[in-house]
Structure 1
Amino acid sequence: MNRPVRRPDAVLVQAVIAGALSFAHLHDLAAAAGQSGWKAWAYPISVDLLLVAAWRRLRIGRDGASWTWFAIALAASLGANVATAGLLDLAHVPDWLRILVAGWPALAFLGGTLLVHTPASTAAAEAPPLEPELAVPEVELHRTDTAPVPAPASTPAELAPAPVKPSAPVPAVPAALVEHARSIADAHRKTTGEPITADTLTARLGLPGPTCQAIAAQLELT
């Protein structure tokens, strides 16, 4: 089975060319600064690794540390490219450049450690908070296919008038009490010349109302 031949990506080709040239320039600058042998080849690897680590961290969360170490690694790579373009005499490298090249391993180690072990602010934390969902009011559903239940018919007992409560029985009055009340009434007639009333007799006897009314009825008082 024949597989289609893909065309080379122009960006990938440019990345390979730029990486190779930057690698060679960093090697030449390190060798000119007194780093010979395998040490001169380790410098471009260190710079490229720090540049890649800072770029990967920038893709996760863009913070100040990521931009700082990305700028340091990019400056080291661009500085080597410019320095080896004929602007610097590689046979007589200045002392400050030798100091920078000699101190680069410690600086690169510090940057890589901070990039790996310092948490980055993710893009999700920078995103604006989502609006709260609108509460949907609950709707109570009722069935309309069922016939309404008729109200129960009133029974004959409910339509019938309420029975009349019997009146309280008239209390029986002893004959002696009746005679005592009669004597009070006669004395009142002799004193005032008028018959005693039921209210006056009730006040004079001091008995319960029903009993006094029964006595007044027997004495035919009004």
Structure 2
Amino acid sequence: MPKRARSVRVDAVLVQAVIAGSLSFSHLHDLAAAAGQSGWKAWAYPVSVDLLLVAAWRRMRELQRAGQPASGPRLWFLIALAASLGANVATAGLLDLNDVPASLSVVVAGWPAVAFFGGTLLAHTSAPAPEEETPTQSLNGSDDQKDPLPALSTVEETTDVAAPPAPVSASTVPLPPALIEQALRLAAEQRAATGRPADPDSVRLRLGLPPSMTASVAAHL
């Protein structure tokens, strides 16, 4: 039910706009014809005034939404509004359309140049594109510049944890008998190949043990 009432309201607004636009269009045409503009030229004047009015209003709103000054479009909107209102008032019986002043004929004859100039300026006054947002934290040097420091400290902590600890004694890390037997066999192979005592670290590497087990291997060689 509320939706139907809203559609009736929109239709009423459109009808009112059509009626007001038609009357204004007719008054502008009559004034232009009375000022010496005949034929299609008299019909072109209301089109020119209304288009300038709408274009200036639209560009003014675009600039205002973008937060930019809209003095130029506002000026052309007021000029077009004055032309439209002036035509409506002049044709309301305050002016003899059969004997218009020469000054009004001059204004009507000069309107196309004014409208062309205003339309050209409006066409080249586009609303600026919205600026890209920049992270405020990066500009202020807050969180984005502080992040690398914890990252470095984390890397250092990780490196410290991954670094080989100091060798422990064989009594604290005993080797199983099978591993001791294999270590002795590898040590004998090294002595036979090099003629020198086996290196505990080399034996530990061949056994696949961590560096902390070097002392344990050496204790059994």
TM-score normalised per structure 1 = 0.56
Paired residues of 1:60 and 1:123 also in contact (CA < 8 A): no
Quote the offset at 1:18 in angstroms. 1.3
Are residues 123 and 80 of structure 1, via their aligned partners in 2, closer, same or farther at CA, if it must alter by over 3 Å? farther
Which of 5, 16, 20 matches 1:18? 20
Give the aligned residue type for 1:60. Answer: E
Which of 167, 170, 173 matches 1:152? 167
Give the aligned residue type for 2:8. Answer: R
Quote the offset at 1:19 in angstroms. 0.8
What is the match of residue 136 of structure 2?
A: 132
Which of 119, 128, 137 matches 2:125? 119
TM-score normalised per structure 2 = 0.56
What is the match of residue 32 of structure 2?
A: 30
Structure having the higher helix fraction is 2
Give the aligned residue type for 2:62. Answer: I
**Which consecutive unaligned segments of at least 5 residues does structure 2 have?**
64-68, 171-221
| CA offsets 1:87-142 (integer angstroms, 9 cap, x no match) | 112121111111101111111111111211x33453846x9x87712425333556
Paired residues of 2:59 and 2:127 also in contact (CA < 8 A): no
SS of the residue 2:143 aligns to: coil
What is the match of residue 78 of structure 2?
A: 71
Paired residues of 2:30 and 2:42 also in contact (CA < 8 A): yes
Pairwise mapping of residues 48-197 of structure 1 onto structure 2 (< 5 A)? 48-61=50-63, 62-116=69-123, 118-120=124-126, 122=128, 124=130, 132-133=136-137, 134-136=142-144, 137-138=146-147, 139-140=150-151, 141=154, 151-153=166-168
Bigger Cα Rg:
1
Are residues 32 and 57 of structure 1, via their aligned partners in 2, closer, same or farther at CA, if it must alter by over 3 Å? same
| CA offsets 1:169-221 (integer angstroms, 9 cap, x no match) | xxxxxxxxxxxxxxxxxxxxxxxxxxxxxxxxxxxxxxxxxxxxxxxxxxxxx
Q: Distance in 2 between matches of 1:64 and 1:121?
A: 13
Q: CA RMSD in A?
A: 3.2
**Which consecutive unaligned segments of at least 5 residues does structure 1 have?**
156-222
Are residues 8 and 93 of structure 1, via their aligned partners in 2, closer, same or farther at CA, if it must alter by over 3 Å? same
Q: Distance in 1 between matches of 2:135 and 2:165?
A: 50
**Aligned residue pair count:** 147
SS of the residue 1:7 aligns to: helix
Q: Distance in 2 between matches of 1:150 and 1:33?
A: 104
